[in-house]
Amino acid sequence: MLESRLPTRMMALRKPVSAPKKTSGAARAAASRPELERKHDPVRTQHDILEVATEEFARDGLAGARVDTIAARTRTSKRMIYYYFSSKEGLYLAVLERAYAQMRAAERELDLVRLPPREAIRRLVQYQFDYEEAHPELARLVSIENIHDGVHVAKSETIQKLNVSVIEMLAAILKRGRREGIFHTAIDAIDLHLLIIAPCFYRISNHHTFGTLFGRDLLAPAVRARHRRMFADSIVGYLEGTPKAAAPRARAAQNGRPRKAR
């Protein structure tokens, strides 16, 4: 009778504790199977490591990201990561190279050389706008690399070769546009590249601070649509140049001397 009146918690304490189960050979083999599978599939293993490392480096930077965490998330080991990428910095550089390679690969699919010059530039601006938004980790990685003065990018021939392609493409589009009498502004391909990526990068890298300071959500659908059109219109308009008849009037206004109407 007394036992029946004991509180449930006390009854639970009186239950015998079962001995821990011994791990069988089959269980140990099952636990090690993912590691064995990865050893036999190095391409998949490296892909998974780079996916997770991209997230870790983009969030915590080169100094803050932990190889232990990357190994745990990918169910690999630090030794395996170092086997493929030599070091933490080697892994970080591989992440950067992969990020640039993916952006340039998607860019090539636009096949801009077959489009009329004006449309090609508009399409490229819109592509850059969309890509930066779809891959915010890229803006973070680039910002982190700039904190390190770009020393890792400077070591990478891969990244430097990748970025030659976009400059060559822009130079070809500018040449066609001038030959066809569409573009009149004197600008080289590198400056044009800067003009395109700067606003697209900024709206992603700074959207938190900009939104807080000015009360405008840069990612809101209506704002996004307006800016996507505005960036493209501005850059295409700049390349087309000021009509000759309006040029003297524009220069006079810029110098603070309104031109008299005739």
Alpha carbon 67 to its chain's center = 21
CATH assignment of the domain containing 52: 1.10.10.60
Half-sphere exposure in the Cβ direction for 197 (13 Å, CA):
15
User: Structural domain tally of the chain?
Assistant: 2
Same domain, 145 and 179: yes
Query: Does the pLDDT at position 158 exceed 50?
Result: yes
CATH assignment of the domain containing 213: 1.10.357.10
Q: What is the pLDDT of residues 17-49, one digit of tens each?
A: 344 444 444 444 444 455 555 556 889 999 999
Same domain, 112 and 54: no
DSSP code per residue over 24-91: PHHHHHHHHHHHHHHHT-HHHHHHHHHHHHHHHHHHHHHHH--HHHHHHHHT--HHHHHHHHSSHHHH
Token match 């003297």: residue? Answer: 248
Same domain, 106 and 205: yes
Same domain, 210 and 169: yes
Alpha carbon 41 to its chain's center = 27
> Residue 100, SS3?
helix
**In the chain, what percentage of residues exceed pLDDT 70?**
77
Q: Considering only 14-23, 154-163, 204-213, which range has the smallest mean pLDDT?
A: 14-23
Token match 């930077």: residue? Answer: 61
Same domain, 234 and 106: yes
On whether residue 76 sits in a domain, the answer given is: yes
Query: Does the pLDDT at position 2 exceed 50?
Result: no
> What does the pLDDT average to over 83-112?
95
Same domain, 109 and 231: yes
Provide the domain limits for residue 44. Answer: 37-85
On whether residue 1 sits in a domain, the answer given is: no
> What does the pLDDT average to over 51-57?
97
Token match 């000021």: residue? Answer: 242
Same domain, 80 and 120: no
Same domain, 136 and 62: no
On whether residue 3 sits in a domain, the answer given is: no
Same domain, 212 and 143: yes
On whether residue 260 sits in a domain, the answer given is: no
Phi-psi region of 61 (alpha: psi -120 to 50; beta: other; left: phi over 0): left
Q: What is the pTM of this model?
A: 0.76
Task: Specify burial of residue 81 (Cβ count, 10 A radius: 0-12, 13-18, 19+).
Answer: buried
Nearest CA-CA partner of 92 in 124, 68, 57, 67: 57
Q: For the chain, where are the alpha helices, taking DSSP H only?
A: 8-13, 25-39, 42-64, 67-74, 78-85, 88-108, 117-134, 136-147, 151-155, 157-179, 189-205, 207-214, 221-240, 247-254
Q: Among 53, 85, 117, give the residue marking a domain's end.
A: 85
On whether residue 183 sits in a domain, the answer given is: yes
Same domain, 81 and 105: no
pLDDT at 41 (0 to 100): 83
On whether residue 22 sits in a domain, the answer given is: no
Whether the CA torsion 155, 145, 130, 128 is positive or negative: it is negative
pLDDT at 250 (0 to 100): 43
Alpha carbon 25 to its chain's center = 45
Query: Does the pLDDT at position 95 exceed 80?
Result: yes
pLDDT bin (cut points 50, 70, 90) of residue 136 is very high
Q: Are 145 and 85 in contact (CB under 8 A)?
A: no
Same domain, 169 and 130: yes
Query: Does the pLDDT at position 260 exceed 60?
Result: no
Q: How far is Cα 82 from Cα 84, in angstroms, rounded to an integer? A: 5
